[in-house]
Structures are given as C-alpha cells and as structure tokens.
C-alpha cells in the first residue's frame, strides 16, 4: 500500500513538472509556433531577468525589444504587464485594435523595423527586430512581464513573453560583500601584527 502511494505521488510530481515546463515553453515561444520569436527587457544595454544580478532598477527607462524570424513583419505591439495578472488567460492580439486593457497593463507599438545585428539576448539571430521604450515612471519595485505580438498588416505572426524584476537599488552580490569582509579582516590582522612587531623592537 505504501509502495503504491509513493508511485502515485511520484507520477503526480512528474506530470506537474512536465506541465510547468511545457507551459513555460509555450509562453516563451508564443503558443508553440514554429516561427522563432523572442522579446527582451533591456535597461542601459543590460538584458533583464529574474535571477540574481539580472534585475533592473527603478528610475530608468526599460526597452521592450522583440525579434522574429520573418522578413514581412511590419508591426510590433508590446504589453507591459504587472505582477498578478494571468498572462495565459488573456487574448493579447484582441487588445491591439483598441480593446480595453486589463488594469495596470500598458501597450506601446512600433511600425518601424530595425536591424537585429549586435542586439543582446539572442536577438541578433532573428530577421526583423523592433523596439519601444517604457518610461521610468511606469515601473515600481516588483516582477514585471513583457508580452510581444508581431503582426503583418494586422495579421498575427507570433507572440513571445519574458519575465523580469525591478529593484529599488542595485543589488550587491553576497559573494562580493563576503570578499570585502575577508580582505578587510586580513588587512586588519596584518596591521595589528606589524604594529606589535614594531613595539617589540
């Protein structure tokens, strides 16, 4: 009986993990499309994310930069989505034509393609790129999302999404602080040793 329960729990955990992985992949690749589309949050040439050291800071603009493997894409729509809104529950393309945006969501659009050459975050592998800039006043501390919709003459080509965090100040890694503390204690010990040696002479 105990063995069956463990197998059952193991199966449930496997299904949950696989489901989460597949959901993340669909979200990142715009619904599982074969077209390679991506979007990045970029602040002062730094690609933002949710990991340590990847966060942005409040008080500075953040660019929503998208790339798609299509030479015919001529419209780019980027939604700025605050934490707490179900990304997968909203039909984002339906909001492009003037639909009512969910509370807290903002949208910027561009009809001006740009070169992908030299862009960070893997965008340089795409054929066509776009960029819009959300002002610093749009951001507060927390987790944010960009949802990008690429279209050609109003017809949806692909979607892409990215999550990132914004902090109130630049986070200093603990390793860096620890290194400073270690170096300081070593210098202090050396200073005391030298001072004692001089006194004994």
| Domain assignment present for 95 | yes
201 inside domain:
no
Residues 122 and 134 in one domain: yes
Query: Beta strands 155-167 and 56-57: pairing type?
Result: parallel
pTM score of the predicted model: 0.70
- Give which of 65, 71, 81, 103 is closest to 166, Cα–Cα: 81
- Looking at the structure, tell me whether residues 75 and 86 fall in a common domain: yes
Task: Verify that 19 and 103 share a domain, yes or no.
Answer: no
**Phi and psi dihedrals of 200, rounded to 5?**
-70, -25
100, 128: one domain: yes
Give the model's confidence band at 102: pLDDT under 50 very low, under 70 low, under 90 confident, else very high.
Answer: very high
- Is 39 found in the same domain as 27? no
Question: Is residue 185 very low, low, confident or very high in pLDDT (cuts 50, 70, 90)?
Answer: low
Q: What is the pLDDT of residues 129-168, one digit of tens each?
A: 999 999 999 999 999 999 999 999 999 999 999 999 999 8
120 shares its domain with 98? yes
Are 38 and 48 part of one and the same domain?
yes
Assigned domain for 193 exists:
no
- The pLDDT score that the predictor gives to residue 99 is 81
Q: Please tell me the predicted confidence (pLDDT) of residue 19.
A: 37
Condensed to tens digits (0 to 9), the pLDDT of residues 117-131 reads 999 999 999 999 999
Residues 4 and 88 reside in one and the same domain: no
Residues 64 and 28 grouped into a single domain: no
Let me know whether 134 and 42 are in one domain: yes
The tens digit of pLDDT for each residue in 78-100 reads: 999 999 998 889 999 999 988 89
Q: What value does the mean pLDDT take over residues 6-22?
A: 40
Quickly list DSSP for 77-141: EEEEEETTS-GGGS-GGGGTTSPPPPTT-EEEEE---B--TT-TTTGGGSSEEEEEEE-GGG--S
Domain containing residue 28 = 1-32
d(C-alpha 14, C-alpha 22), whole Å? 12
Band (11; pLDDT cuts 50, 70, 90)? very low
192 inside domain: no
Bridge partner list, 72? none
Q: What is the CATH number of the domain that holds 160?
A: 2.60.40.2550
Q: What is the domain count for the chain?
A: 2
- Nearest residue to 79 (alpha-carbon basis) of 134, 24, 139: 134
């Amino acid at each position: 009986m105990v063995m069956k329960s463990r197998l059952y729990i193991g199966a449930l955990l496997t299904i949950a993990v696989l489901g989460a992985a597949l959901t993340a992949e669909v979200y990142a690749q715009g619904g599982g499309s074969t077209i390679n589309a991506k979007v990045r949050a970029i602040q002062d040439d730094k690609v933002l994310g949710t990991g340590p050291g990847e966060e942005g800071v409040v008080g500075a603009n953040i660019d929503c930069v998208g790339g798609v493997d299509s030479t015919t894409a001529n419209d780019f729509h980027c939604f700025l989505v605050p934490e707490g809104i179900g990304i997968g529950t909203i039909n984002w393309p339906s909001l492009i034509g003037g639909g009512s945006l969910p509370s807290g969501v903002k949208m910027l659009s561009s009809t001006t393609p740009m070169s992908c050459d030299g862009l960070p975050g893997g965008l340089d592998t795409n054929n066509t790129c776009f960029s819009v800039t959300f002002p610093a006043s749009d951001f507060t501390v927390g987790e944010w999302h960009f949802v990008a919709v690429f279209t050609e003459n109003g017809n949806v080509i692909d979607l892409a999404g990215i999550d990132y965090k914004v902090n109130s100040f630049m986070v200093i890694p603990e390793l860096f602080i620890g290194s400073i503390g270690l170096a300081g204690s070593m210098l202090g010990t050396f200073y005391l040793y030298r001072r004692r040696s001089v006194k004994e002479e």
